[in-house]
Amino acid sequence: MKVLALETSSEFCSAALALDGRVIAREAQVGQGHSEMLLPMAVGLMAEARVTLRTLDGIAFGAGPGSFTGLRIACGVAQGLAFGAGVKVVGISTLLALAQASAVPRAICCIDARMGEVYHAAYERAGAGWRTVHEPGLYRPADVPPVEGTGWTGVGTGFAAHGAALAQRYGAALGGVEPRRVPGAGAIAELAAAEFARGGGVAAEAAAPLYIRDKVALRVDER
C-alpha cells in the first residue's frame, strides 16, 4: 500500500507517504505559503522514496475543518495529482488526524476556529482504529458536548486558545492536554492507508473539503 498525504489546514504545511506500513513525512511552518510549498514538498518526498504517481494506491488530504484557504489548496492539489495518476482520493478529518497523532486512548480534539469558537470532535480507540464519540462540529468552548468517564486528553489549538473554558467544561474527565498539536500529513497517511485498504476513496472530481462553517469573519457589529 502506497499513499501520498497532503495537509495544509493550519500554518504548517506537510506531506507524507505511507509505504507498506511505514510513514515518512516532511513538515514546515509556512504561514500563508502553502500554495508555493506543498507541491515541491510532495514531489521531493516521492523522489526521496523513489515513488512515482503511477505507483500510488491513492492520494489523501486533510479535508478539514481548518483554514478555508488551506483546505482548498490541499484538496485542489490532491485532485490534480490524482487525475494525472488515475487513482482515487480520500479526505481525512483534521480532527481525527489529531487523535491519530496524539496516540492516546481517548481524545477530545479541538481546533481554534476563531470568533470565539472551536471545531470539536471526540474519539475513542477501538482496536486498530477509532470510534467516533462526537462527530465534528462547531461550538463555543462552554457549549462543547460532554463526554463520559475519565482519562480523556485534550488535543489541538482549541485548548491553547480556550484552555480555561474547556477545562472548566470537562472537569475531572480531562486528564491532560496537548494544546500545540496540529494536524499532520503523517497521521492522515496512516488513516488513509487503512481507508484505501478497505476499498474506500472517491474519484478525484468528487473530493471536497469539510468546512463546517461558511463564515470567515465577524461583522463590525459582532466584534
Question: What does each of the 223 residues of the chain score in pLDDT, given as a tens digit?
Answer: 999 999 999 999 999 999 988 999 999 999 889 999 999 999 999 999 999 999 999 999 999 999 999 999 999 999 999 998 999 999 999 999 999 999 899 999 999 999 999 999 999 999 999 999 999 999 999 999 999 999 999 999 999 999 999 999 999 999 999 999 999 999 999 999 999 999 999 999 999 999 998 644 333 333 3
Model's pTM, two decimal places? 0.94
CB 83 within 8 A of CB 97: no
Tell me the C-alpha to C-alpha distance, in Å, between residue 103 and each of 62, 71, 119: 18, 24, 20
DSSP assignment, residue 144?
P
β-partners of residue 173 are: none
pLDDT for the residue 82: 97
Task: Produce one character per residue of 64-82: b if its CB has 16 or more CB atoms within 10 Å, e if not.
Answer: bbbbbebbbbbbbbbbebb
In the chain, CATH 3.30.420.40 covers 2-94+183-206, 95-178
Rounded CA gap, 6 and 13, in Å? 8
Q: Does domain 2-94+183-206 have CATH number 3.30.420.40?
A: yes
Q: Mention the CATH class of domain 95-178.
A: alpha beta
pLDDT for the residue 223: 39
CB 38 within 8 A of CB 74: yes
Rounded CA gap, 195 and 1, in Å? 11
Is the N-terminal amide bond of 65 cis, ω within 30° of 0?
A: yes
Looking up cell 475543518 gives 65
